A and B are shown apart, each in its own frame.
Chain A
Amino acid sequence: MDSSAQVIIANLTSPPVLAFALGLLAVLVKGDLRLPDPIYQGLSIYLLLGIGIKGGVALRQSELSDVAVPAIATIVLGLLIPVLAYLFSGKLTRLSEVDRGALAAHYGSTSLVTFTAALVFLEQSSISYEGFATTLLALLEIPGIIVGLMLGTRHLKREISWSESLQEIFSSRSILLLVGGLVLGFATGAVGYAKIEPFFGGLFIGMLTLFLLEMGTLAGRRMRDVKTAGAGLIVFAIVFPIFSGILGVLFGYVSGLSMGGAAVLGVLAASASYIAAPAAVRLALPEANPGIYLAASLGITFPFNLTIGIPLIVLVAQSLEGMVG
């Protein structure tokens, strides 16, 4: 067996991915594995805050000069990807401008769980990456949503209330917890983190496994919408992440990241948001059909990235190492 097949199988047999598959299966057999809502909410707080804190601790150990160029590259990606998603979806589907703007917001933003699964995968494969990767995650969350909303409202008669929308995006729980966690981790440093490590570090993959069980049931229910969404959307939701993932890897190398770091930026670029973006889009762009953007981001792209996308992007990063940058 060659190493790339091994890489993919190692990913498919990791506990979080298997739990996700169990959640999917439960929906197929019409069983009910949904976690009680407060537990799901609690787990998402734990994951967001924990990832933020660990990222903050790592950011403190990084030099500002090492972070600056990748940070700029990430913001450029955040502005570029939604525009590309908008254009791509126009070629592949017959969706309205509003729905394509909503898709652009989702693909321009990023998925925390996909990012986390990628870190778990890299650690499993003993590939190191820059500690400030979480900072890049935080930077990529918001620009894509804003660009997507701008694209989606271009052809609408009404004016969008930007002050209200921005306030809602910046005060959303996922942004507050992630950015708050980064600040907290940065302030407390490695010494402070040592005290909470058993909870936020030792238990982390177990908690992630539980969370992915729930994500499996959510994604499974969204897959029902996929049938009505049409072949063009399915192609988009698989091909576009591969394209944006490769773009992310290239941006990573050009901005001086290591192989592991470039792979993380690739995964960030490939992933589509399904927590921050849906809430923002639903409020600011209610004309867009959630059945379409959630089917694409949660029903297709998320499972694809979790199973095949992550190892594929790592393989791309490995094969491009030394050729770029």
Chain B
Amino acid sequence: MSDLTAVSLVTIVAETALKPRLTKDLMNLGVSGYTVTAANGEGSRNRRAGDVDGGNVMIQCLASRDLSLAIMNHLEAEYFENYAVVAWVSSAEVIRKERYS
């Protein structure tokens, strides 16, 4: 029997146009995988081309605490200023912790 261990769950909601860039960045930063779902909603920015291209996407990945911080810092440096992006880190519990660097 394995036990549960804590990892970070990073959730990013962004305009659809950013999906290829964001997922590439995540892989380059070292996540082992990610999940993308279509998302819709309203926010403070309301400045996007998403209508034509299809709303927002929600990208989630599991990561170590250090990596999740690196992801958030990368988003701050590259995306928060000009793009419609929100992101947060929450805690999750998994078995097979070695999968989430």
Chain A residues engaging chain B, CB cutoff 8 angstroms: 37, 40-41, 168, 218, 221-222, 274-275, 278-279, 281-283, 286-287, 289-291, 294, 298
Contacts and interface: CB of A to CB of B under 8 A. Distances in A.
B57 to A, nearest CB: 12
B17 A294 contact: no
Contacts of A222: 51
A41 B53 CA distance: 9
Contact of A218 (B17, B21, B52): B52
Interface in B1-36: 15, 17-18, 20-21
B100 interface: no
Contact of A286 (B38, B51, B53, B83): B83
A41 B20 contact: no
A29 to B, nearest CB: 19
B38 A290 contact: no
Contact of A282 (B38, B46, B49): B49
Nearest to A44: B52
B70 to A, nearest CB: 21
Which label, helix, strand, loop or mixed, suits the secondary structure of the A interface?
helix
27 contacts: A37-B54, A40-B54, A41-B54, A168-B20, A218-B51, A218-B52, A222-B51, A274-B52, A275-B52, A278-B52, A278-B53, A279-B49, A279-B52, A281-B49, A282-B15, A282-B48, A283-B21, A286-B82, A286-B83, A290-B47, A290-B48, A290-B49, A291-B46, A291-B47, A294-B49, A294-B52, A298-B52
B90 to A, nearest CB: 27
B38 A37 contact: yes
Contacts of A37: 38, 54-55
A287 B82 contact: yes
Which interface residue of A218, A283, A298 has the most chain B CB atoms within 10 A?
Answer: A283
A221 B54 contact: no
A283 B20 CA distance: 11
A289 B47 contact: yes
A218 B21 CA distance: 25
A221 B51 contact: yes
Contacts of B52: 218, 274-275, 278-279, 294, 298
A278 B49 contact: yes
